[in-house]
Amino acid sequence: MVKAWCMDDSQEDQRLPHKRAGDSDVSLEQLKDIGVEYFNINPQNFEENETLKKIRKDRNYTYMDRIECSREKLPDYENKIKAFFEEHLHIDEEIRFILDGSGYFDVRGKQDEWIRIFLEAGDLIVLPAGIYHRFTLDEKNHIVAVRLFVGEPVWTPYNRPQEDRDVRKEYVAKYITAA
């Protein structure tokens, strides 16, 4: 099952867990409260998996491809890893289903704190449009993920700050300032 925690302020290697000492873990409910959704799906034969088929149908995730992040497999590795870890948002949801390896998605919580989400095989995460986030590999330096999308994919990252962008305003109104 997915694990998430608040991050410490250390500037050490981004690939380390950076768990803030003394805190309890961040729950799935807390993630849901900031619009982050989680599903657990067997990665074996995933294309035939009924739960995944239903998620894709219900949410109209018509596009699907695969990305492998490692020094050997990811073209332009250094620049990509750097760009993934810049704090940014997208104007669409970001959906990733992990098939192998592991890594961290960091998202901003209600108080603008960093919440680190550890993902490994079987974890499917949906980040809502407009949430500030970033991604890093962990110390194993390898992850394979399926990317899903509604229609033709647009991966454009908009680095923080983006407070004047409509998608950001909508996100803040729905998840941060709403009572």
- Strand, coil or helix: 135: strand
Contact between 99 and ligand KMT per CB under 6 A: no
Separation between Cα atoms, residue 171 and residue 69, nearest integer Å? 29
CB 73 within 8 A of CB 99: no
Contact between 135 and ligand KMT per CB under 6 A: yes
Torsion over CA: 34, 37, 38, 44 (sign): negative
Separation between Cα atoms, residue 114 and residue 122, nearest integer Å? 23
Contact between 108 and ligand KMT per CB under 6 A: no
Contact between 145 and ligand KMT per CB under 6 A: yes
Candidate residues 31, 41, 92, 96; the one interacting with ligand KMT per rule CB under 6 A: 96
Contact between 149 and ligand KMT per CB under 6 A: no
CB 96 within 8 A of CB 38: no
Contact between 95 and ligand KMT per CB under 6 A: no
Contact between 176 and ligand KMT per CB under 6 A: no
Contact between 121 and ligand KMT per CB under 6 A: no
Considering only residues 39 to 78 of the shown chain, the ones binding ligand KMT according to CB under 6 A are 67, 69
Count CA within 13 A, CB hemisphere, residue 41: 23
Q: Which residues form the interface with ligand KMT (CB under 6 A)?
A: 67, 69, 84, 96, 103, 135, 143, 145, 155
